[in-house]
Amino acid sequence: MTLLDIDQLTFGYRQQPALLADISLRLADGDMLGLLGPNGAGKTTLVSLITGLLKPGHGSITLNGKQVALGDRRIALVPQEYAFYPRLSGRENLTFFAGVQGLKGNTAKQAVDRVLAQCALTDTQHQRAARYSGGLKRRLNFAIAILTHPQLLILDEPTANVDPQTRKLLLDIVRELHQEGVGIIYTSHLLGEVENLCNQVALLHGGRLVLHGSMDELLRDAQQSVSLKPTQTPSAELVSRFNACQQADHWWRFELPAGTTVAGLLSTLEQAGLHYTHIRYGTQALEDIYLALTSDTHPASAAS
């Protein structure tokens, strides 16, 4: 069943009239979509369109067949910016936002207690949010969004600048919610995180969706190659023989010639004195695909 249907969406700001052009994207029940794109590609803008904060110039966005609208309780957002009152405590913030979302009395109290425990905020619930560390602020931002049970949860870089413990805590909660049937859209620049978490991926670049599909299919290596992290640069002879090319993070990709097995290739490399610390076969890294598709982006020219 289709959960979210974005159909031929077009949107621009006055300064950038063609920021998003002809975006069509479909999410099925049970999908967890990684939404990627360089700085300024329009991810947060697309999120704002899905939550009804912005209105599309053309096209439509429906959730379970019904147009989305501002204040749509079926959608919850963990925004990139902190969205709570710094002068209130964690608990006071949650109680306030529970009220905003229509929860009252004991139901509100139970929801607040639940998310405090889920986000490991119980011990610090009475501290002013302004005094929270960065990790606690991220957890409070997150806790506010999951006070109710949305059909679609959108997380806009929820793990930016958090330590590994808080990252694991937040990602475990995202997985739990996903298992409970909540659809997830997850924007992040941490490609390893998206690769491990999401079953669908979409890449925004130059105003368009340049990639959208299943993560497994995307990462499946159709070209029959082996990627290695060698301890030294491969010789020119090996590079030319196996059509090897360097990839991100010191990985090298070697093509498997017809009739050669992986064991055969590795043995040839070892005989030629090439040693390695890591090996990858049958799958590509999301980062390599991302960098190839966005290679015309110059970091200095991208908006932040």
Ligand X SMILES: Nc1ncnc2c1ncn2[C@@H]1O[C@H](COP(=O)(O)OP(=O)(O)OP(=O)(O)O)[C@@H](O)[C@H]1O
The residues binding ligand X (CB under 6 A) are 13, 15-16, 19, 37, 39-45, 303-304
* For ligand X, the closer CB: 78 or 116: 78
Q: How far is the CB of 192 from ligand X (least distance, A)?
A: 17
- Of 7, 33, 14, the closest CA to residue 183 belongs to 33
Q: How far is the CB of 54 from ligand X (least distance, A)?
A: 8
Q: How far is the CB of 14 from ligand X (least distance, A)?
A: 7
* For ligand X, the closer CB: 13 or 71: 13
Count of other CB atoms within 10 angstroms of residue 83:
14
Angle between helices 105-118 and 90-100 (to 10 degrees): 130
Q: How far is the CB of 35 from ligand X (least distance, A)?
A: 9
Q: How far is the CB of 20 from ligand X (least distance, A)?
A: 9
* For ligand X, the closer CB: 38 or 135: 38
Report how far apart, in Å, the C-alpha atoms of 50 and of each of 12, 43, 141, 150 are: 15, 11, 19, 14
Under a CB-based contact definition with an 8 Å cutoff, are residues 115 and 146 in contact? yes
Q: How far apart are CA 124 and CA 131, in angstroms?
A: 10
* For ligand X, the closer CB: 39 or 240: 39
* For ligand X, the closer CB: 13 or 233: 13
* For ligand X, the closer CB: 44 or 225: 44
Q: How far is the CB of 43 from ligand X (least distance, A)?
A: 4
Strands 32-36 and 200-205: parallel
Q: How far apart are CA 50 and CA 33, in angstroms?
A: 14
Q: How many CA atoms lie within 13 A of 223 on its CB side?
A: 12
Q: How many CA atoms lie within 13 A of 278 on its CB side?
A: 8
